[in-house]
């Protein structure tokens, strides 16, 4: 007889277990969805007061938490800093061991905790309240120690986690994250944070390139097809073909843009006339064409092209003088369109 013990076979995943997995996943998602929908009732006067006070903060918003709430705090700090609100992360455990020295009287502190009753929070809340200009609680229980020791309370109201044992932070952290995002975007709006500001704070990577890239960086390699009102049809067609941007600008005697002739304009003209003799650019050009200045962001050019459903924009100086063409292919090449 062999001395080797027979190893138990690896259990197979039965159809019933597969069904259980799908059911568990669906229940988790539904529970967290319900938690998020419940937040709509939490956007109230208390939330508004907290946002107003945070927007008036002259120093930094110091965001703190313990455990999973600390991770949400870090995410909020990253979002605030990237959208124009100065913020600093302070771990609650580090805070009660000396790091509270980073808090100044001009700062406001935002403490995140679902229960509002953890040992670190109970030590931290009364102390930081004496060090800063105001304490905001993002908490699940309005009757908790943290809530009652804070100047402003934002409540998630979460009592049920998606965890079947109601233990692992799931619904509570999801609710914290959503409310934190709502808070950050409110502050962003109050601060008048614009795409240009976003570009200034995000210079690196693909996002930064898209936000910094200007029309001037894209159009200069293109041909500059242009004619005048008195240019005959044959010359107009040759200029469009030579330019390879599907159009030609029509200029006045001071080289200011007064119109555009596209290859589509030429085709439509050929469909409705038998005689091409004597036809000039002034007979077929479109007045008030879509233009853009060289100093505008390429992402704005994309928005204009999409809005107006055109294939190209005429680039001009602020006074209307012709500079060239920006084609939709220029934006596609840069990964913007």
In the chain, where are the structural domains located? 19-193, 215-333
Binding-site residue ranges: 91
End-to-end CA gap in the chain: 73
pLDDT of residue 207: 67
Average pLDDT of span 92-108: 94
pLDDT of residue 8: 47
For CA atoms 114, 117, 120, 123, give the dihedral sign.
positive
Does the structure show a pLDDT above 70 at 3? Answer: no
Render pLDDT for 234-287 as a digit per residue (tens, 0 to 9).
999 999 999 999 999 999 999 999 999 999 999 998 888 878 788 999 999 999
Average pLDDT of span 8-22: 60
Please tell me the CATH code under which domain 19-193 is placed.
Answer: 3.40.50.10490
Is residue 137 within 8 A of residue 152, CB to CB? The reply is yes
pLDDT of residue 7: 46
pLDDT of residue 18: 64
pLDDT band at 11 (very low <50, low <70, confident <90, very high): very low
pLDDT band at 66 (very low <50, low <70, confident <90, very high): very high
Is residue 283 within 8 A of residue 258, CB to CB? The reply is no
Does the structure show a pLDDT above 50 at 187? Answer: yes
Report the CATH fold assignment for 215-333.
Answer: CBS-domain (3.10.580)
pTM of the entire predicted model: 0.67
Q: Which residue has the higher pLDDT, 164 or 74?
A: 74
Binding-site residue ranges for Zn(2+): 91
Task: Give the chain's mean pLDDT.
Answer: 90
Strands of 108-113's sheet, edge to edge? 87-91, 61-65, 108-113, 135-139, 152-155
pLDDT of residue 336: 80
Render pLDDT for 286-315 as a digit per residue (tens, 0 to 9).
999 999 999 998 989 999 999 999 999 999
Render pLDDT for 133-154 as a digit per residue (tens, 0 to 9).
999 999 999 999 999 999 999 9
Half-sphere exposure at residue 190, Cβ-oriented, CA atoms within 13 angstroms:
17
Does the structure show a pLDDT above 60 at 332? Answer: yes
């Amino acid at each position: 007889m062999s001395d080797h013990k027979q190893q138990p076979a690896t259990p197979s995943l039965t159809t019933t277990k597969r069904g259980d997995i799908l059911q568990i996943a669906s229940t988790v998602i539904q529970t967290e969805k319900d938690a998020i929908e419940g937040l709509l009732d939490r956007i109230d006067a208390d939330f508004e007061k907290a946002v107003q006070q945070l927007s008036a903060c002259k120093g930094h918003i110091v965001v703190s938490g313990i455990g999973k709430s600390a991770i949400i705090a870090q995410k909020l700090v990253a979002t605030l800093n990237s959208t124009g609100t100065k913020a600093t992360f302070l771990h609650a455990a580090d805070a009660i061991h000396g790091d509270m020295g980073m808090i100044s009287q001009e700062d406001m502190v935002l403490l995140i905790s679902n229960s509002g009753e953890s040992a670190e929070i109970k030590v931290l809340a009364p102390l930081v309240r004496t060090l800063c200009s105001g304490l905001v609680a993002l908490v699940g229980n309005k009757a908790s120690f943290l809530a009652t020791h804070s100047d402003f309370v934002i409540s998630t109201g979460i009592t049920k986690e998606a965890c079947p044992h109601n233990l692992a932070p799931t619904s509570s952290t999801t609710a914290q994250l959503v409310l934190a995002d709502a808070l950050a975007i409110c502050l962003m709006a109050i601060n008048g944070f614009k795409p240009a500001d976003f570009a200034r704070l995000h210079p690196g990577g693909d996002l930064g390139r898209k936000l910094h890239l200007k029309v001037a960086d894209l159009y200069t390699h293109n041909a500059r097809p242009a004619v005048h009102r008195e240019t005959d049809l044959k010359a107009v067609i040759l200029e469009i073909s030579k330019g390879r941007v599907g159009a030609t600008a029509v200029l006045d005697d001071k080289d200011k843009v007064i119109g555009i002739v596209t290859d589509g304009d030429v085709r439509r003209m050929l469909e409705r006339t038998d005689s091409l003799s004597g036809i000039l650019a002034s007979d077929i050009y479109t007045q008030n064409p879509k233009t853009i200045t060289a100093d505008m962001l390429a992402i704005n050019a994309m928005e204009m092209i999409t809005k107006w459903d055109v294939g190209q924009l005429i680039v001009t100086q602020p006074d209307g003088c012709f500079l060239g063409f920006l084609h939709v292919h220029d934006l596609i090449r840069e990964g913007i369109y």
